[in-house]
Amino acid sequence: MRVLGLLLLIGVIAFMVSPRLRAWLAARAPMLILGGIAVVFVVLAASGRLNWIFAAIAAALPLAWRALTLLQFLPWLRRLLGGAGAAGAGPSRGEGPRQPPAHSGLTRDEALQILGLEPGAGPDEIRAAHRRLIQRLHPDRGGSGYLAARLNEARDLLLEDQPGADA
């Protein structure tokens, strides 16, 4: 252990003193990092301590998969929320003035934008767009109640303008 510490100390001092060594390391940094990770995995596997890493990776995979599928909605959500500030920037629950209901100012253009439709969309297109989005954003599937309500409101507003279409 002392030998490893001494080698590490010599490497740090050489790194601080030699600009040539610094340039060499900077050029090979990705390969050295991957090599270091591989060495750590080999040592952990040889010592029988690799199980917790695989368990952590297995637990993180569903979260990463969900995050990747939700990333496609980021621009849409930003437009929908009107570029709202950072999370926690507004008043928290129970503080500040109450917000008016969301349906109070929804226009036809906003409803079309929420559902991702063009003007002149028919009732079938409106229902299909609503169905596609509500399946992903419904609270029972991990979505937001606010977004689901906005989708329903947009659908209802657009369908009430359609002749012979029931909301």
* pLDDT number for residue 58: 87
Mean pLDDT of the chain: 80
> In the chain, which stretches have pLDDT less than 70?
82-104, 161, 163-167
Residue 57 belongs to a domain: no
Closest by CA to 70, choosing from 2, 137, 122, is: 137
Domain of 122?
72-80+103-167
Q: What is residue 100's predicted lDDT score, i.e. its pLDDT?
A: 44
pLDDT of 144 reads 83
The pLDDT value given to residue 166: 59
Helix axis angle, 145-160 to 108-115, nearest 10°: 120
What the block records as the tokens of 15 is 């790194």
* pLDDT value at residue 165: 59
Is 60 domain-assigned?
Answer: no
Do 76 and 43 share a structural domain?
no
Residue pLDDT, tens place only, 3-37: 888 888 888 888 788 888 888 888 898 898 999 89
Q: How many helices (H) and strands (E) does the chain have?
A: 8, 0
Note whether residue 59 is domain-resident: no
pLDDT at residue 164 in the model: 63
> Which CATH number goes with the domain that contains 76?
1.10.287.110
pTM: 0.38
Predicted local distance difference test score (pLDDT) of residue 2: 84
